[in-house]
């Protein structure tokens, strides 16, 4: 077996090969190695190259616990979304929402102008728009990005540490300005006249649309009222679809970390791929979803840690997300 040699030894463990280290990882319930010979016409010696594959079935106990808790959290989130949307629709149908435009519109305009001028509103909307938190209220948006799933989303969608920091700063600034305004964000009412700060924060609206909505607030409420009912029903429908998906019988079969090396004809190994394979059983069907993991030194350091660590947890949650999209 052409297990990668000491030329690829972990830093600080020069006397050990990658194979020595990986065979002893406590994170693995089972470890397997395989290799295949390849024809390498480009090699300096014109000889054969070898592909070596390492497979680690990650601890069933740990991955099962994470899978179960994350799935339950998603169910709870969408149940809350469904309840909030149904309550909002009922309040519209019962006509129990009270007009507050005279008190709230000037303050909402101040919030809009402050955040628009600083650029924080645009950064906030760009951050939230395509995220799993796009439909959530401001407090829940903060909770999401403070969670493991949110941090994983942030680091995988922002290209640099600077962009991550800018996104976090924008979220903080929006939260501070809205909190200082005293306007309610814990309501299900998104009518521009009755809850204008939520209208300002709506990720689907451009600055021009927000400005126009604030300006036209005094004009006719019936059309907006009917549109709100349609919107509420659409949110109910989305939540029900997600709950139907999440309540299907799904169980984790296994989570396997796979690393491959290309070994040249001269015997020089180089890591080529690093993947998490997640296998789940949906009803009677077993489905596999793969997540590409990094091959940089920092990524491989997480492998050499030997445990099911943050890198594996983030990859597992991200891969689970693909199952419900």
Q: Which residues of the chain have pLDDT under 70?
A: 1-17, 39-47, 95-103, 187-192, 218-222
d(CA 294, CA 318): 14
Determine the pLDDT at residue 13.
44
d(CA 189, CA 195): 6
Pairing mode, if any, of strands 269-282 and 28-39? unpaired
For residue 31 the two structure tokens come to 């470890």
Determine the pLDDT at residue 130.
85
User: Going along 144-268, which residue ranges are E strands?
Assistant: 250-263
Determine the pLDDT at residue 7.
38
Determine the pLDDT at residue 268.
84
Q: Whole-prediction pTM value?
A: 0.55
Single out the residue of 181, 201, 182, 175 nearest to residue 190, CA to CA. Answer: 201
With 0-12 CB in 10 A as exposed, 13-18 as middle and 19+ as buried, what is 248?
exposed
For residue 292 the two structure tokens come to 């590409």
Determine the pLDDT at residue 42.
52
Determine the pLDDT at residue 159.
76
Determine the pLDDT at residue 3.
45
With 0-12 CB in 10 A as exposed, 13-18 as middle and 19+ as buried, what is 86?
middle
- Per-residue pLDDT tens for 219-253? 655 677 788 889 999 999 999 999 998 988 889 99
């Amino acid at each position: 077996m052409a297990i990668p040699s000491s030329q690829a030894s972990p830093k600080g463990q020069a006397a050990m090969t990658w194979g020595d280290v990986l065979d002893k990882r406590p994170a693995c319930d089972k470890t397997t190695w395989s290799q295949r010979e390849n024809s390498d016409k480009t090699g300096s010696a014109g000889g054969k190259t070898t592909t070596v594959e390492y497979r680690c079935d990650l601890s069933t106990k740990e991955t099962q616990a994470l899978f179960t808790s994350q799935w339950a959290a998603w169910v709870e989130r969408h149940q809350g979304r469904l309840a909030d949307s149904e309550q909002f629709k009922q309040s519209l149908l019962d006509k129990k929402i009270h007009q507050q435009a005279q008190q709230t519109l000037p303050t909402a305009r101040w919030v809009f102008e402050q955040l628009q001028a600083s650029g924080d509103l645009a950064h906030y909307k760009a951050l939230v728009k395509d995220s799993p938190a796009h439909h959530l209220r401001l407090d829940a948006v903060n909770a999401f990005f403070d969670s493991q799933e949110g941090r994983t989303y942030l680091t995988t969608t922002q290209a640099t540490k600077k962009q991550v920091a800018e996104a976090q700063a924008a979220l903080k600034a929006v939260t501070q300005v809205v909190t200082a305004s005293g306007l309610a964000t814990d309501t299900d009412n998104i009518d521009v006249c009755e809850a204008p700060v939520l209208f300002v924060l709506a990720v689907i609206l451009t600055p021009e649309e927000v400005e126009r909505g604030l300006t036209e607030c005094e004009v006719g409420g019936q059309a907006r009222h009917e549109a709100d009912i349609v919107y509420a029903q659409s949110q109910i429908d989305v939540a029900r679809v997600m709950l139907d998906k999440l309540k299907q019988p799904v169980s984790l079969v296994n989570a396997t970390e796979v690393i491959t090396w290309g070994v040249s004809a001269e015997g020089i190994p180089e890591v080529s791929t690093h993947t998490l394979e997640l296998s789940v059983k949906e009803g009677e069907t077993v489905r596999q979803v793969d997540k590409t993991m990094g091959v940089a030194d920092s990524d491989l350091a997480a492998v050499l840690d030997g445990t099911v660590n943050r890198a594996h947890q983030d990859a597992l949650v991200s891969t689970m997300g693909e199952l419900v999209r």
